């Protein structure tokens, strides 16, 4: 693990490539453990890395030594995320790229839906927008290039595929992903104690609510 | 209560920000110039973290529906109270019915209209700061609009007119090398500190885009998404730095050449579009000294206000 300061108040801990689910699992456990420590303000899990936010520092050496030590003595099996099923309305107005994606893969829209709902995905991290999950586990047979012309506004709740990734947009935003469906399930609810539906370490399964072709 | 009569800029309600929620992808937001916001609040005897109206560059006109003490800090606005000129970093009393106009910022970018007691805005996720993208805080998570009525927690007038030393603006901003500094070519490292960088017009609360020399990596760097923060200097493939500002998203994927020190984030926020600035390297000890200097400034305001209650 390589630890480098990024500011007066934060260090990033980077694991050697490639990013694997095993390494990511260790990072969730590490984040979970560090969050219990009193002087650590925030911990953010990235892809194959983790950032620790503290109060301002004038010397990083003791912190880096401490993090290295904690990482070596880390016990991993303690952290278990939640499993969440997300109902998706495939196709239709907000999933208008479903047919194009099917054409790209030379199969039927139903086949795309079957492939997309088959795996159990893992939330590697949350970032970009409140509650936006970086999901691992998209089958290679669904990897699809992003749209040549990104949309200026992708509606909130859109379920899409961008390259080797799949995910859900919690908020409307510009985006270049292929939209294959949408969900009414709120990914972000400011009234909840944990305001996001998903957290790093959770597992996700997409289920068909309806198909609109 | 104060009513928005006219507004020509993206004015928002801001406090110090929304903390502790980055792991959920929730941005900190908060004032672009936190030192100016704190100074304004302290001048009125408020807590540092009291919500105020942040006004970038343009203008806003508001009508006071009650007598209240107020001040404007941060950018130097051309301002009038019932058509009489008034000045930034001074505490005034408004009478019910008077109209305050912030015409435009003459120096600096972000002005803070603070009122005695602060605006009565419900906290969302522990902050009143407006997060326009996540629709949190402020007035329904949006920029201020004509007709908005803002309640205050007015708790008595401060009768004496008092002014404080304004925060000086500067063209040299202090920064620390960040995690990917060594991945840039020697020439690019040199250029980062030596170039005069011009702030581009497509800059906003999320990021300040600068133009100057081109910053190149020694060799292409495969960066995976990682946490970023207010002050991180990212360099996308076009080689032109973007400094993340208060509304920064929580994670990003570009290499970071440097990080603007905490003490200078407000000064950076006040750099005007089209202006050229330079960055200078400091170490952690100097960064701490400069933070302490800002604290001393705020302590001085506290002591002035204690004497003039």
**ipTM confidence:** 0.94
Distances (CA, A) of A137 to A105, A120, A142, B91, B232: 18, 7, 10, 59, 31
Instruction: Give the model's pLDDT for residue B68.
Output: 96
Element (H, E) at B259: strand B256-260
Judge whether A136 and A103 are in contact, CB under 8 Å. no
By C-alpha distance, the chain A residue nearest B263 is A8
Q: Do B256 and A200 touch (CB under 8 A)?
A: no
* CB within 8 Å of A42: residues ≥ 6 apart: A52, A53, B19, B20, B22, B23
Q: Do B24 and A126 touch (CB under 8 A)?
A: yes
Q: Do A49 and B224 touch (CB under 8 A)?
A: yes
Peptide bond preceding A18 in cis form (omega within 30 of 0): yes
**C-alpha span between A53 and A44 (Å, rounded):** 8
Mean pLDDT of B274-301: 98
Minimal C-alpha gap between B69 and chain A (Å): 33
Instruction: Give the model's pLDDT for residue B183.
Output: 97
The token duo for B3 is: 């009513």
Minimal C-alpha gap between B256 and chain A (Å): 8
Give the closest residue to B279 by CA, choosing from B295, B265, B293: B265
Q: Pseudo-torsion of CA B104, B108, B110, B114, nearest 10°? A: -80
Instruction: Give the model's pLDDT for residue A77.
Output: 75
CB nearest to B291's CB, from A56, A194, A199: A56
DSSP H helical ranges for chain B = 34-43, 186-194, 265-269, 284-308
| Cβ-Cβ contacts under 8 Å, A7 against chain B | 176, 178, 229, 231-232, 259, 262
* CB within 8 Å of A98: residues ≥ 6 apart: A90, A91, A109, A112, A113, A179, A180, A181, A213
Instruction: Give the model's pLDDT for residue B223.
Output: 86
**C-alpha span between A56 and B95 (Å, rounded):** 43
* CB within 8 Å of B215: residues ≥ 6 apart: B184, B188, B191, B192, B235, B239, B240, B241, B257
Instruction: Give the model's pLDDT for residue B160.
Output: 85
| pLDDT tens digits along A115-172 | 999 999 999 999 988 999 999 999 999 999 999 888 989 999 999 999 888 999 999 8
Q: CA geometry: angle at A173 spanning A171 and A177, to 5°? A: 105
Strand partners of residue B6:
B61
Q: Do A190 and B124 touch (CB under 8 A)?
A: yes
b or e along B241-263 (b: 16 or more beta carbons within 10 Å of the residue's beta carbon)?
Answer: bbbbbbbbbbbbbbbbbbbbbbb
Instruction: Give the model's pLDDT for residue B159.
Output: 80
What percent of chain B has a predicted confidence (pLDDT) above 90?
Answer: 93
Does pLDDT of A201 surpass 90? yes
> In chain B, what is the straight-line distance between the N-terminal and C-terminal CA atoms, in Å?
23
Does pLDDT of B22 surpass 80? yes
The token duo for B132 is: 């326009």
Give the closest residue to B115 by CA, choosing from B89, B154, B149: B154
Instruction: Give the model's pLDDT for residue B58.
Output: 86
Mean pLDDT of B217-232: 93
Distances (CA, A) of B308 to B24, B95, B166, B267: 44, 20, 18, 28
B288 pLDDT band, cuts 50/70/90, is very high
Q: Do A56 and B288 touch (CB under 8 A)?
A: yes
* CB within 8 Å of B12: residues ≥ 6 apart: B53, B54, B129, B130, B132, B138, B143, B144
Chain pair A-B, CB pairs under 8 angstroms = 122
* CB within 8 Å of A20: residues ≥ 6 apart: none
Instruction: Give the model's pLDDT for residue B77.
Output: 97
Mean pLDDT of B265-282: 98
Q: Pseudo-torsion of CA B235, B238, B239, B241, nearest 10°? A: -50
**C-alpha span between A115 and B88 (Å, rounded):** 62
What's chain B's average pLDDT?
Answer: 96
Does pLDDT of B221 surpass 90? no
| Count of residues in chain A | 213
| pLDDT tens digits along B136-154 | 999 999 999 999 999 999 8
Q: How deeply is A104 buried, as exposed, middle or buried, from its count of CB atoms within 10 A (0-12, 13-18, 19+)?
A: middle
Instruction: Give the model's pLDDT for residue A173.
Output: 86
Minimal C-alpha gap between B112 and chain A (Å): 26
CB nearest to B227's CB, from A44, A57, A59: A44
Q: Do A46 and B224 touch (CB under 8 A)?
A: yes
What percent of chain B has a predicted confidence (pLDDT) above 70?
Answer: 100
The mean-pLDDT minimum among A21-35, A39-53, A70-84, B99-113 falls in: A70-84
By C-alpha distance, the chain A residue nearest B131 is A130
Q: Do B25 and A17 touch (CB under 8 A)?
A: no
| Cβ-Cβ contacts under 8 Å, A187 against chain B | none
Q: Is any Cβ of chain A less than 8 angstroms from the Cβ of B286?
A: no
Strand partners of residue B251:
B227
| pLDDT tens digits along B62-88 | 999 999 999 999 999 999 999 999 999
Q: CA geometry: angle at B151 spanning B146 and B153, to 5°? A: 150
Does pLDDT of B309 surpass 80? no
| pLDDT tens digits along B93-134 | 999 999 999 999 999 999 999 999 999 999 999 999 999 999
Judge whether A30 and A78 are in contact, CB under 8 Å. no
Residues 79-118 of B with CB under 8 A from A: none
Q: Do B259 and A43 touch (CB under 8 A)?
A: no
B10 pLDDT band, cuts 50/70/90, is very high
Q: Do A8 and B176 touch (CB under 8 A)?
A: yes
């Amino acid at each position: 693990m390589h630890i480098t300061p990024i500011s007066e108040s934060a260090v990033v801990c980077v694991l050697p490539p490639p990013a694997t689910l095993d390494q990511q699992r260790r990072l969730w456990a590490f984040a979970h453990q560090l969050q219990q420590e009193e002087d650590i303000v925030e911990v953010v899990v990235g892809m194959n890395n983790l950032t620790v936010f503290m109060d301002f520092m004038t010397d990083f050496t003791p912190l880096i030594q401490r993090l290295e030590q904690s990482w070596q003595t880390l016990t991993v099996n303690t952290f278990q995320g939640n499993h969440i099923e997300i109902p998706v309305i495939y196709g239709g107005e907000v999933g208008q790229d479903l047919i194009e994606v099917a054409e790209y893969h030379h199969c039927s829209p139903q086949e795309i839906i079957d492939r997309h709902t088959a795996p159990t995905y893992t939330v590697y991290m949350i970032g970009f927008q409140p509650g936006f999950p970086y999901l691992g586990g998209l089958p290679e047979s669904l990897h699809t290039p992003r749209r040549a012309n990104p949309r200026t506004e992708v509606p909130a709740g859109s379920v899409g595929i961008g390259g080797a990734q799949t995910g859900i947009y919690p908020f409307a935003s510009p985006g270049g992903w292929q939209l294959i469906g949408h969900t009414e399930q709120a990914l972000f609810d400011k009234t909840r104690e944990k305001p996001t539906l998903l957290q790093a370490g959770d597992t996700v399964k997409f289920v068909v609510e309806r198909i609109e072709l | 209560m104060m009513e928005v009569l006219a507004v020509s800029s993206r004015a928002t309600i801001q406090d110090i920000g929304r903390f502790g929620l980055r792991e959920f992808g929730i941005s900190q937001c908060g004032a672009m110039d936190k030192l100016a916001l704190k100074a304004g609040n302290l001048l009125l005897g408020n807590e540092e973290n009291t919500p105020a109206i942040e006004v970038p560059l343009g203008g806003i006109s508001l009508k006071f529906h009650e007598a209240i003490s107020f001040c404007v800090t941060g950018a130097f606005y051309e301002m009038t109270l019932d058509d009489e000129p008034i000045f930034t970093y001074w505490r005034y009393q408004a009478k019910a019915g008077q109209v305050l106009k912030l015409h435009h910022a003459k120096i600096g970018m972000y002005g803070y209209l603070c009122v005695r007691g602060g605006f009565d805005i419900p906290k969302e996720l522990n902050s009143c700061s407006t997060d326009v993208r996540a629709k949190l805080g402020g007035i329904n998570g949006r920029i201020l609009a004509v007709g908005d009525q803002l309640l205050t927690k007015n708790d008595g007038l401060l009768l004496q007119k008092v002014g404080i030393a304004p925060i000086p603006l500067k063209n040299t901003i202090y920064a620390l090398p960040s995690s990917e500094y060594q991945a840039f070519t020697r020439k690019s490292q040199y250029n980062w500190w030596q170039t005069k960088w011009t702030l581009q017009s497509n800059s906003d609360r999320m990021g300040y885009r600068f133009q100057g020399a081109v910053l190149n990596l020694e060799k292409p760097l495969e960066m995976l998404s990682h946490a970023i923060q207010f002050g991180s200097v990212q360099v996308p493939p076009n080689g032109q730095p973007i400094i993340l500002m208060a509304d920064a998203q929580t994670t990003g994927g570009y290499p970071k050449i440097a990080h603007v020190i905490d003490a200078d984030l407000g000064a950076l926020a006040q750099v005007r579009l089209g202006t050229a600035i330079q960055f200078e390297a400091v170490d952690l000890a100097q960064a701490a000294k400069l933070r302490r200097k800002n604290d001393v400034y705020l302590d001085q305001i506290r002591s002035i206000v204690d004497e003039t209650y």
